[in-house]
Chain A
């Protein structure tokens, strides 16, 4: 009798689920289309209905292609859920379940418990927008973290409720215009500050909580892989520009995200057990106006000779400076993990990816 080999069985199962059938020698190989023959996992397929240049679609693709294929996803209501699953089609190639707007954390907890009961290792991911995470899904998330479920929760932070028409969330940055925080006579856009969710999440004393940006995909995927390797609750917030809601050119999604990091407004930090263990140093810090000027949601801050606009610009600059100081983001001497080195390419890809 053959020895019981749980790892081998698991491998066979995965092969059946995701692998290509090994063909006997000499058998006709199935012609793969160029799309099928690509050297990466296509967790999130084409044909989804996101807007042109959608940062959230990109972020979700980057996460799924490196977390998958052995994952399942609970996805809160929001753009990502809507644009990937226009009935009767789906863009996903992994098990994926739509939760409510407010309970992705709870649904993911249940999925994880079910996997545990079945003795499976399939990792559960929870996806939500900033509305679904910072605001309405917050308590479900907190409960999931507190109960120590083995789930990676990813928040696609496009800084407003985009799917229902750009309403402000607690993640919307100070002074940005949304349909519910319009700039005008009374106010210069949103009056309140962006919530520091990462700190709150980290206060659950979980193993890993980090911020990433679509402008640094190699760094983003490194963080996903790191989180995937942890048994326990982990959290990733990804800065994901929304051309529609932020009112920028669809071609500038990455440029906007890059400037958001380079000015200090969106610091890329990693927190383990409540302590900051890593930050991405900024090789050349840019003024926040470089970031603001590309986006229509901040256009009221760019009017010349407007004292209110000037004050708000100064306020945002002070917030960025505060981040830079708090996290020690200024990286004047080159570092292998700084903003420049993280984006540099060479022939055949990112130098880090080639070794």
Chain B
């Protein structure tokens, strides 16, 4: 037998002795877990990418647990949130954004059906107790996050039931009460939360007492005081203020009768009221709004402030919308209104550099009406809070909600800088996080220290087109005061929709880097590598070509020096 000598052959794989990594001139690949745009824009602080990842693995309960790390009420937000996450979703660059709210809602409902419980343990009996004023979404979220963080919470709520505007104002057609009740009950059942109903700050308890007896006070009273409304001092005798009307309607189903109604304002209250009046039989319902309908004509900062889907449904139902319009004058017969004079206007930048609304002479017209309903917004009711109120709101001095007093925070609508359920829920998370850091003497970790990720940082070649799920909807003729209009998409569609998530800025375990590295410098491991992905870079051999970063679909690999 011929024996090959050392002079004639090399041993297998011995090139490993030659470390080609020293060829790298500049940059090397690193894993960068960026914040996906959905998460960056979610006022509640959810990480949609993370829970879609769980769904992609078929783990619905895991996905729900991921959701409730930030948002304890997904069945609610899945129904009422204006979903800025979808507006921001990178998938829009490919075909259509993820139907995030539909999947969130399905998860929320599934949790109720399956009886999933929050992954929290009871706080210690002697854990510090935080006082929370108001049991709207902000207060409820704050209480929940206190428990998650090992604190106890005592809620003081003026009303006989918890829920705030979710219960008092948002119509059942958008938020069925059994869903709301189920989510609130699950939250209030948590150990460590005491709910004091019919306990009004300023009447039953004072801020001083709360501060004295608790580790901190979180103020989430919402906005209960109507802003004064008149047109040049004129007010009709039978003035109905919009939110009050809506609350009465939601409470006992009554609405005043009118043939031709004008609703003045541009928010959710105005929109809900228009639709309720129309459904109650008004012939003509017109929304007069200074803001504009979404479109190329309208500056994004001046778009009517309602959930996009509500706007669409309102138009389907025959609500007339006069956008970029205001009421100039009420035409009164005696003290009853018979018409209004409206005029076009626009938000324009003035010489001082600030935006002003400017009316245009010659655009005036008169509309006959029987009722004008103002829906121009509310402010914080001063009861018990007088000294803290600054131009109608509590106006905290930092994103966590801190007021000038120590360990007193403002949350939710009362802050005056936002007005959605999701923002109220996120306020609870942010305030409690900041409070815990303060109690532990640690510096509050700055929010958003992760980088973002835009569609041009993804490699879209690796995603096939796939249609966005469409939720079933009641036909206009079939819509009533009770039945929910938008339907459930169901498990199969939710799971399929989750597969559409591009996993922006986080590893998808797609193997591309491992497959494409010409130098075997990407190592696939069985377990999660240190940084949360399954792959390691072996810089002993990485020549720095940049292929992996280029071909990473999710933008999770970046070349850095």
Q: Are B516 and A58 in contact (CB under 8 A)?
A: yes
In the complex, the answer to whether A38 meets B13 with C-beta atoms within 8 Å is: no
In chain B, residues 12-37, which have Cβ atoms closer than 8 Å to a Cβ of chain A? 12-20, 23
Residues of B with C-beta under 8 A to A93:
12-13
* B2 close to A (CB within 8 Å): no
Q: Point out the residues of chain B lying under 8 angstroms from A42, CB to CB.
A: 13, 520
Q: Provide the A39-70 mask, 1 if CB < 8 A to any CB of B, else 0.
A: 11010111111111111011001100000000
Task: Provide 30 A-B residue pairs closer than 8 Å at the C-beta atoms, listed in order of the A residue.
Answer: A35-B523, A37-B526, A39-B524, A46-B521, A47-B15, A47-B18, A48-B20, A53-B547, A57-B519, A58-B517, A86-B18, A88-B6, A89-B15, A89-B17, A94-B12, A243-B545, A251-B545, A251-B550, A253-B547, A254-B547, A255-B550, A343-B462, A346-B56, A347-B53, A347-B57, A348-B509, A348-B510, A349-B509, A350-B510, A350-B511
Q: Report yes or no: B16 in contact with A45, Cβ–Cβ below 8 A.
A: yes
Task: Supply 5 further A-B pairs (C-beta < 8 A) apart from A46-B521, A88-B6.
Answer: A46-B20, A344-B462, A345-B553, A346-B510, A353-B511
CB distance from B535 to the nearest CB of A (A): 10
Separation of A93 and B516 alpha carbons in the complex (Å) = 19
A334 within 8 Å of B (CB atoms): yes
Q: Which of B165-173, B305-313, B536-544 contacts A (4 or more CB under 8 A)?
A: B536-544
Tell me, yes or no, whether A171 is within 8 Å of chain B by CB: no
B10 partner, pick from A34, A88, A250, A253, beta carbons under 8 A: A88
Given contacts A58-B518, A251-B545, A349-B511, contact A90 B464 (CB under 8 A): no
Q: Are B15 and A34 in contact (CB under 8 A)?
A: no
- Bound: A84/B18 CA distance, A: 11
Contact A258/B461 with A251-B547, A347-B510 known, Cβ cut-off 8 Å: yes
Asked whether any CB of chain B lies closer than 8 Å to the CB of A92, the reply is: yes
B residues neighboring A (CB under 8 Å): 6, 10-20, 23, 53, 56-57, 461-465, 499, 503, 508-512, 515-521, 523-526, 536, 538, 540-541, 543-547, 549-551, 553, 559
Does A46 lie within 8 Å of B520, measured CB to CB? yes
- Are A46 and B541 interface neighbours, CB within 8 A? yes
Q: Interface extent on A, as a size class?
A: 35 or more
B512 contacts A345, C-beta separation under 8 Å: yes
Residues of A with C-beta under 8 A to B559: 251
Given known contacts A57-B518, A348-B509, A85 and B10 CB-to-CB distance under 8 angstroms: yes
- The answer on a CB contact under 8 Å between B14 and A90 is yes
Instruction: Report A-chain residues with C-beta under 8 Å of the C-beta of B13.
Output: 42, 45, 90-93
A110 interfacial by beta-carbon distance below 8 Å:
no
Within 8 A of B (CB), among A1-38: 34-35, 37-38
Q: Within the assembled complex, what's the spacing in Å between the Cα atoms of A40 and B526?
A: 12
Decide if A341 is an interface residue (CB 8 Å cutoff). yes
Taking the closest CB of chain A, its distance from the CB of B6, in whole angstroms, is 8
A89 to B520, CA, bound (A): 17
**Chain B nearest CB: distance from A74 CB in Å?**
15
Q: Are A53 and B545 in contact (CB under 8 A)?
A: yes
| Separation of A40 and B515 alpha carbons in the complex (Å) | 10
A89→B518 contact, CB < 8 A? no
| Inter-subunit contact B463/A344 (CB<8 Å) | yes
A347 neighbours in B (Cβ, 8 Å): 53, 56-57, 503, 508-510
A243 CB contacts on chain B under 8 angstroms: 545
* A57–B517 alpha-carbon span in the complex (Å): 9
Whole-angstrom distance between the Cβ of B465 and the nearest chain A Cβ = 8
CA distance A217 to B547 in the complex (A): 14
For B499, list chain A residues within 8 Å (CB): 346
Q: Which of B465, B523, B550 contacts A252 (CB 8 A)?
A: B550
